Structure 1
Amino acid sequence: MSEENITRLQLNNKEYILIGTAHVSKNSAEQVKAVIEAEKPDSVCIELDDARYQSITEGNKWKNTDIFEIIKNKKATLLLMNLAISSFQKRMAKQFGINPGQEMIQGVESAKEIGAELVLADRDIQITFSRIWGNIGLKGKAMLLMQVIGGIFSNDSISEEDLEKMKQQDTINAMLLEFTEYFPKLKTPLIDERDQYLSQKIKDAPGEKVVAILGAAHVPGITKEIQHDHDLKRLSRRPAKSKAPKIIGWTIPIAILAIIAYTFYMNPSAGLQQTISWIAWNGSLSAIGALLALAHPLAILTAFVAAPITSLNPLLAAGWFAGFVQAYVKKPNVGDFEQLADDVHTVKGFWDNKVTRILLVVVLANLGSSLGTVIGGLDVVRVFIHNLMG
């Protein structure tokens, strides 16, 4: 059996066998099977949390999704990001005729076959996302979104040979150094903290021999971090929400309403001009966002009507109302959810599938409304200053 991509560690009378994999490589899945059968470990750790484990093992999970609940719980953007991030991986997997995460599935099956304990060793993906989002700042968020959107539009293909090269530790380290250069704050929650979390879960796995199936990027870090103890509660803590966005969120609409009210008092015609400008910019740009998502005309109209009102209330968003209308008029069926995995491979698929189109309506209508708030707000201030000076 080839020892390539395998790291063996001895610690506190326990043996740890780390298998570094590429998540869409046939050879990785085959190697996982061979190692577990040969080593017969007491425990098998896989780089999944409970939610991702269920999504991989339950093929019909999407059938039970309630799109209205997703919008109501403000998870449309998160779900769209998740789908976009996975699209490149799924495209590569389709290219090689395998399922993404096949090496993890193989780990689950092989663990069952030999009676080993299965350990879901990764941190909850929602916590990782919240710690990423809370640590990268406004510029980092913009760059991350651009990278994700770029991933949807990319048609790059990759050879099996390139995939195997990705599993070499020196290549991975080089990639991480480059990654850190562009997103210095992103590496901590995405790689470093998860290395610590994974290493502690692996170390705590029962038995004297443990096999861990990991993305190759984590192997160098885990090899180092497993030598130390880590506090899983600290690593699982969601970042404290800053009060600043809430304060700003209420200050801006209150200021705009106060400016318009004062202008109306001083000069009713100027106040009317401000009101029309606010409605026109907010409504039009939110409607354009919905239109770009190819929303139903009623959803576009809803975005136009809702945006000037919701922009004055941080607890509401025009995209939610437009999304609800889109979901009601063009309600997704079981087939749309079943097709999600295939449709996210392409830009056309993102817009054609009723599920992702609803998510796009929510996100793009909200973006349009946000832009309208900025432009409309500045115009309200411009008219106010002009009226004062006039």
Structure 2
Amino acid sequence: MEEDQKEAEASLTPPAVSDDDPQNMSDIQQNLSDEDAFKLLWEMKMQKRQGKPNLPDTVTELGTEDGCKVYLVGTAHFSESSRKDVVKTIQEVQPDVVVVELCQYRVSMLKMDEKTLLKEAREINLDKLQQAIKQNGVMSGLMQMLLLKVSAHITEQLGMAPGGEFREAFKEAGKVPFCKFHLGDRPIPITFKRAIAALSIWQKVKLAWGLCFLSDPISKDDVEKCKQKDLLEQMMSEMIGEFPDLHRTIVAERDVYLAYMLKQAAKPLELPLALGPEPSQQIPSVVVGVVGMGHIPGIEKNWNNLLNIQELMSVPPPSLAAKAFKFTVKVTLMGLMGYGCYRVGKGTIQLMLSRPFIQRYLHKFTNEIF
């Protein structure tokens, strides 16, 4: 999982560094040596970096023993105001690293336009369900689709795609010289599998029922009112309030993981020889973290703790009851499919059985039984 995360980060190349006059900058750099161009870009960055930055109220400042600074931008995932907060913070502090609350499984939203994202969020179909089940297993896949339904519900109400603050962070990071872009969230399949494993069968059914019948209208004003606590996470917290273990896996564990990744990013920078005579000269780094507002208290709480994420990356084996429930669901689905085929006729049965997906499913189902 960690190797996949690094590969995903490596494929993320923010847009090229720009200035007020990109053409003029290009002409200047062509007449400079690599060493002089490096010095020029570094000096520009240091000049733009504010000693006492004027930051939005949603920003929390943290520090390390090495003097590194981390500016946490608490956001609402469907908020236009949050996008502006992210842009302003990055422009003010000119960070060395930007860390966002995304993993490699959700990184595609950084490169998709708003129109495509709106379409994707609104379309929850059989193909997406099959992909989720294949990736995460039956129960975790179904739960993922139910949570996507929550996100799609907000998207439908607001006409606004999620993750705008992350796309802004990605674009702004590309305008800052020598700024790296990191994915800071735990891989979503692990989060879902750990969440499902933490629930009893009855709790799984009860939670799924609540998610399926989500219908309360949400306005743009509601999003901004929830600026002190991310809207999507607030809705989820209200629904999972009676399931402490679920809250622990979806929120509290990710607080620890995000804090760990932010601390990993906040390391002193070793300057190259081009910037000074000392080969091992180090300076404190500046990091901007873009996370949901609901994670800020947990990150602050864990900031000075000795963090170990190995246990948080493990997935407990399914219990006997969970296996029995999974088997029951499969048998029920097969029974409904068989009854449906019986009702529509022999020709339809032959047509359905010829489909590769049905054949693969029957083969897998038979192997699991026998």
Task: Report the TM-score, using the length of structure 2 for normalisation.
Answer: 0.61
Select 1:113's aligned residue among 171, 175, 189: 175
The amino acid across from 1:192 in the alignment is: A
Separation in 2 of the partners of 1:218 and 1:134?
Answer: 22
Select 1:210's aligned residue among 271, 277, 287: 287
Separation in 1 of the partners of 2:86 and 2:68?
Answer: 20
CA contact (8 A) 1:15 1:210 kept: yes
Find the counterpart in structure 1 of residue 8 from structure 2. Answer: none
Residue 206 and residue 158 in structure 1: after superposition, are their counterparts in 2 closer, same or farther (change >3 A)?
same
Residue 286 and residue 111 in structure 1: after superposition, are their counterparts in 2 closer, same or farther (change >3 A)?
same
Find the counterpart in structure 2 of residue 9 from structure 1. Answer: 62
Select 1:183's aligned residue among 243, 256, 261: 243
Find the counterpart in structure 2 of residue 161 from structure 1. Answer: 221
Residue 172 and residue 165 in structure 1: after superposition, are their counterparts in 2 closer, same or farther (change >3 A)?
farther
SS at match of 1:232: coil
- State whether structure 2 residue 150 is matched by structure 1 residue 88: yes
The amino acid across from 1:6 in the alignment is: V
Separation in 2 of the partners of 1:243 and 1:88?
Answer: 30
- State whether structure 2 residue 97 is matched by structure 1 residue 43: yes
Map 1:236-247 to 2 at 5 A: 236-243=313-320
Find the counterpart in structure 2 of residue 147 from structure 1. Answer: 210
The amino acid across from 1:27 in the alignment is: S
Tell me how far 1:74 sits from its aligned partner: 7.8
CA contact (8 A) 1:179 1:187 kept: no
SS at match of 1:185: helix
Select 1:23's aligned residue among 66, 73, 77: 77
Separation in 2 of the partners of 1:245 and 1:19?
Answer: 39
Separation in 2 of the partners of 1:214 and 1:198?
Answer: 9
CA contact (8 A) 1:26 1:98 kept: no
Find the counterpart in structure 2 of residue 229 from structure 1. Answer: 306
Separation in 1 of the partners of 2:72 and 2:166?
Answer: 13
Residue 2 and residue 160 in structure 1: after superposition, are their counterparts in 2 closer, same or farther (change >3 A)?
farther
Tell me how far 1:67 sits from its aligned partner: 8.6
% identical equivalent positions: 26
CA-atom RMSD in angstroms: 4.4
Residue 14 and residue 78 in structure 1: after superposition, are their counterparts in 2 closer, same or farther (change >3 A)?
same
Of 108-117 and 36-45, the range deviating more from structure 2: 108-117
Unpaired runs of at least 5, structure 2: 1-53, 121-126, 268-284, 366-370
Select 1:195's aligned residue among 220, 231, 255: 255
Separation in 2 of the partners of 1:324 and 1:82?
Answer: 29
Tell me how far 1:234 sits from its aligned partner: 1.6
Find the counterpart in structure 1 of residue 88 from structure 2. Answer: 34
Residue 181 and residue 325 in structure 1: after superposition, are their counterparts in 2 closer, same or farther (change >3 A)?
same
Tell me how far 1:138 sits from its aligned partner: 1.2
CA contact (8 A) 2:83 2:168 kept: yes
Tell me how far 1:182 sits from its aligned partner: 1.2
CA contact (8 A) 1:43 1:205 kept: yes
Of 210-219 and 142-151, the range deviating more from structure 2: 142-151
Task: Report the TM-score, using the length of structure 1 for normalisation.
Answer: 0.59
Count of residues in Structure 1 that have an aligned counterpart in Structure 2: 277
Residue 220 and residue 27 in structure 1: after superposition, are their counterparts in 2 closer, same or farther (change >3 A)?
same
Unpaired runs of at least 5, structure 1: 253-278, 306-320, 329-361, 367-390
User: What does the per-residue CA deviation read over 1:217-252, in whole Å, with 9 as the maximum and x for residues that have no partner?
Assistant: 1111111111112112221111133356558999x9
User: What does the per-residue CA deviation read over 1:320-373, in whole Å, with 9 as the maximum and x for residues that have no partner?
Assistant: x97985968xxxxxxxxxxxxxxxxxxxxxxxxxxxxxxxxx9xxx9xxxxxxx
Residue 150 and residue 325 in structure 1: after superposition, are their counterparts in 2 closer, same or farther (change >3 A)?
farther
Separation in 1 of the partners of 2:345 and 2:250?
Answer: 40
Separation in 1 of the partners of 2:167 and 2:95?
Answer: 17
Find the counterpart in structure 1 of residue 40 from structure 2. Answer: none
Flag the structure with higher helix content: 1
Tell me how far 1:283 sits from its aligned partner: 7.3
The amino acid across from 1:146 in the alignment is: W
Separation in 2 of the partners of 1:226 and 1:127?
Answer: 23
Between the two structures, name the one with larger relative contact order (CA 8 Å, sep ≥ 6).
2
Residue 9 and residue 140 in structure 1: after superposition, are their counterparts in 2 closer, same or farther (change >3 A)?
same
Find the counterpart in structure 2 of residue 343 from structure 1. Answer: none
CA contact (8 A) 1:7 1:17 kept: yes
Tell me how far 1:2 sits from its aligned partner: 5.2
Residue 203 and residue 324 in structure 1: after superposition, are their counterparts in 2 closer, same or farther (change >3 A)?
farther
CA contact (8 A) 2:109 2:163 kept: no
Residue 203 and residue 78 in structure 1: after superposition, are their counterparts in 2 closer, same or farther (change >3 A)?
same
